Chains A and B, each alone.
Chain A
Amino acid sequence: MSDVLAVAEHRQGELRDVSLELVTAGRDLAEQTGGDLHVAVVGGAVDEYADALDREGVDAIHTVAHGDEFNHDVSTQAVEQLVAAVDAAFLLVPHSVNGMDYAPAVAAGLDRPLATDVVGLDYDDGLTVTRELYGGKVEGTVDVEDDWAVLTVRPAEWPVAEEPGDATVESFDASIDDGAVRTTVNGFEEVAGGDVDIGEAEFIVSVGRGIDEEENIALIEDLADALGATLAASRPIVDNGWLPKNRQVGQSGKVVTPDVYIAIGISGAVQHVAGMKGAETIVAINTDPDAPIFDIADYGIVDDLFDVVPELIETVEG
């Protein structure tokens, strides 16, 4: 009987989808441990969020009204107190940017083991988590020796919890030491924009690390021109400054939903896939037949892009 506490996430007045995925992961784990599932939300419109979080399998929802937006110093204190108050063995937090910003601090503060970015949770007299290594080329299982832990859960790995529930909702009066709040969130800024909105495009040609050199980008530009497609890219291309930020597809870039998405020299890291898996038809061109992009592609070409792309330009221009 080990209880589970899952902490939801919101931003700019909206509960994030990852919160309801976390409810599913938490319910799976609580079913295995035979314990209760507690869900918490810190800050913002907590009552509204509590309604949305009341899904099947949730036993109790704890609201902590403190501030409008995420502040990791507040979340760290509130969640540590909640873990103690509900005596939760396992704390689940999304492996999101904000999850990464406080879960390790909570683990350190509570002196509990931490396993991050988990894609699988199995409990049988003890917890075993599944994680990816080497950019997803290898998967591994890790036994957690203690009977409590802090876990961050990979987004989009568990389905969103849909069915309504009948959880009790309680306000938790966390004692926040404002003197220990050493970060001030001043606001938000949208980074997308510029000349093109790839989020609106119906046909996208997207280029990744496989392009090797900046001067080779021209080849993909030629292809996009020939096809009448919009040019986009995965993160490394944008990090290198080879294409502007508004062309980036992925978790930290844009989410795109074109009719056709051609991924060229893109391995298919989970952060990229998060931004393009909604495309109707996905085509991948990559030399590595085991690249994760082929797991979500509808059509594939296992070959060198420098051989295929010029042929494709010729085909469509021919």
Chain B
Amino acid sequence: MKVLVTVKEVAVVGDEFELDGLGIDDRYLTYELNEWDDYAVEEAVQLAEAGDDVEVVVATIGPERSEETVRQALAKGADRAIRVWDDSLADLDVLDPATKATLLAAVVADEDPDLVLTGVQGGDDAYGATGVALAREVDYAWAAVVNDLDVGDDHETAAVHRELEGGVEELTDVDLPAVLTIQTGINDPRYASLRGIRQAQSKPLDVRTTDDIGIDVAALDDALTLTDVYEPETESDATVFEGDAGETADQLGDLLADKGVVDG
């Protein structure tokens, strides 16, 4: 069985930052493997550990910098990686789910995996749509927001739980091949071992241009244009307790006594 995990590197911003044009100033950004994708990688590696002859391939769309996060996936046990990038993609205004799905569909066509796993959403732009769009592009079955996965021995169906709102899970069988979007909490993602990190350096990481995968970026529908970014106005009308920790704790203690939830 072949499992393809699509991952992305996301920019993470701390409490303090400044905007620069239509983005956050680079100085305030750090880059990491998307949290949801980390769970997808773990799920794939666990499938490989549980079964014979399971190959785990990682695919990403991103500039050279993103190889760092892809190597993390390799260090955790993926067998090889594919990175798609060239200047034509860097020029796109918004790398929207439809565009990503088209690019990843070309990779799926090449690799012909039985199962594609990806995170539910990216921590940065949070579209939450690429996995399902990809499934439709490649005509695979799919399930979104999966928090439990059991692949049948015959590799023909997967039994999944989909995490709905309000503490309810839907129990669903999905025909393979399928794309599953993986929710956080489905497993406990491992840290890469030192040995894994060393091994990852020698695992194949193929870089492919859009030409290589047969996609004409100029023909892609660049339908979304980012026109403005700004910090949302704070709507806070909270009473903020002032003072050092001892003073604010006292004020909160008084409030809780006033509300009658603790003894005054």
B-contacting residues of A (Cβ < 8 Å)? Answer: 11-12, 72-73, 76, 95-98, 100-105, 107-109, 111, 113-117, 128, 131-146, 149, 152, 182-192, 202-203, 227-229, 235-236, 238-239, 241, 245, 248, 251-255, 259-260, 281, 283-284, 287-288, 290-291, 294-295, 297-304, 307-308, 311-312, 314-316
Contacts and interface: CB of A to CB of B under 8 A. Distances in A.
A260 B259 contact: yes
Given A140-B226, A238-B185, A311-B245, A294 B236 contact: yes
B113 interface: no
A11 B223 contact: no
Closest 9 CB pairs of A and B: A113-B223, A311-B249, A182-B141, A307-B245, A239-B185, A104-B129, A108-B136, A104-B132, A101-B144
Interface residues on B, range: 35 or more
A123 B113 CA distance: 42
A270 to B, nearest CB: 10
22 contacts: A11-B164, A73-B141, A76-B136, A103-B132, A104-B97, A108-B136, A114-B96, A116-B129, A128-B227, A131-B126, A133-B124, A139-B231, A140-B229, A140-B230, A145-B224, A183-B175, A184-B172, A185-B170, A260-B256, A300-B240, A312-B252, A315-B250
A138 B229 contact: yes
A298 B165 CA distance: 26
A145 B129 contact: no
B101 interface: yes
B15 A235 contact: no
A189 B168 contact: yes
Interface in B193-244: 221-232, 234-236, 238-241, 244
A183 B188 CA distance: 27
Interface string B96-111: 1110010000000000
B256 A316 contact: yes
B50 interface: no
Interface of B: 11-13, 15, 17, 19, 22, 24, 94, 96-98, 101, 120, 123-133, 135-137, 141-145, 161-175, 178, 181, 184-185, 188, 221-232, 234-236, 238-241, 244-246, 248-250, 252-253, 255-256, 259-262
